[in-house]
Copies of this chain bind each other. A is one copy, B any other.
Amino acid sequence: MTRNELVALIYQKKSFLCIGLDTDLEKIPQHLLKEDDPVFEFNKAIIDATADLTVAYKPNIAFYEAYGSKGWQSLEKTISYLKEKDVFTIADAKRGDIGNTSGRYAKAFLNTLDFDAITVAPYMGQDSVGPFLDIPGKWVVLLALTSNKGSDDFQMIKTENGKMVYEHVLQKSSEWGTPDNLMYVVGATKAEMLSSIREIIPDHFLLVPGVGAQGGSLEEVAKHGLNKDCGLLVNSSRGIIYAGKDEDFAEKARAEAIKLQQQMQDILEEAGIC
């Protein structure tokens, strides 16, 4: 999906919501466990109930790998099902290795599974990120400033020129791709830092996790992070997909997604974006 197509989706749905599919057999409604593939049945119901409200879905690959090859099959079915919908798809995989190996991960997620985007860790530098950027029509979502407490440990170290490590990551990596194939992960729990981040990368899309279960605020994120094309994908996982625990779990998920979509519509209209 191109940047223009993604922006058009945001306008059409009046939403910049991304729903995280962190599907866990211990948390999904018990009645699904009798199905052949409970993970896929759960995802399918969530997708059916929310696809008109969200511009993106983000399966969290760890949750599929935890079930081995069966989990990988659930992932394959989920991405196939998502490809029938009008949505942007992100493999939340946080991969990154020497070039030869990153190329294999790129093939796995962007070619074979055909995700639109993959999250990538920056620690190993340009030649670990490049193979993902080299695939035409696909996106890298690079970790910059994450939403967890541990982001203080290395991302926030001050370097000799006064900038923090995550600012180096933003600055240097923005030369490797363009706003048409590179986004960044910036946690909602650090919303007040979005203004200075926008000075470094005014045009790139940001994927913002941490709203909801992790405590980030949508209003704060929008205030500091919106750009002229919206430029934001705000993720919610547990707050939506586990809103209900019974047979009506999909309706409960829809109700939570509607709340976020309506807040987003207000934000977009107020900002004059759509």
Query: Quick check: B160 and A148 within 8 Å, CB to CB?
Result: no
Is there a chain B Cβ closer than 8 Å to A116's Cβ? Answer: no
Interface residues of A in 96-145 (CB under 8 A from B): 96-102, 104-105, 107-109, 112-113, 121-129, 143
Pair A72/B62 contact, Cβ less than 8 Å: no
Cβ-defined contact, B22 with A98, below 8 A: no
* Cβ–Cβ contact A76 & B69, under 8 A: yes
Indicate whether A65 reaches chain B with its CB closer than 8 angstroms: yes
Knowing A66-B104, A107-B66, say if A143 contacts B155 (CB, 8 Å): no
Interface 1/0 per residue, A33-75 and B, CB below 8 Å: 0000000000000000000000000001011011111111100
B98 A147 Cβ-Cβ under 8 A: yes
Do the beta carbons of A125 and B151 come within 8 Å of each other? yes
How far does the alpha carbon of A150 sit from the alpha carbon of B102 in the complex, in Å? 12
Segment of A5-13, A165-173, A224-232 engaged in the interface with chain B: A165-173
* Interface pair B147/A104, CB less than 8 Å apart: no
Contact B159 A157 (CB under 8 A): yes
A83 at the B interface (CB under 8 A): no
A78 lies within 8 A of chain B by Cβ: no
Q: Say whether A220 faces chain B, with CB atoms less than 8 Å apart.
A: no
Establish whether residues B165 and A154, one from each chain, have CB atoms under 8 Å apart when the complex forms. yes
Given contacts A158-B160, A168-B157, contact A22 B101 (CB under 8 A): yes
B153 pairs with A125, CB closer than 8 A: yes
Interface on A for B, CB 8 Å cutoff?
A: 22, 24, 60, 62-63, 65-73, 76, 92, 94-102, 104-105, 107-109, 112-113, 121-129, 143, 146-155, 157-160, 162, 165, 168-169, 172, 209, 214
Top 6 nearest A-B pairs by Cβ distance?
Answer: A125-B150, A125-B153, A62-B104, A69-B72, A65-B108, A127-B150
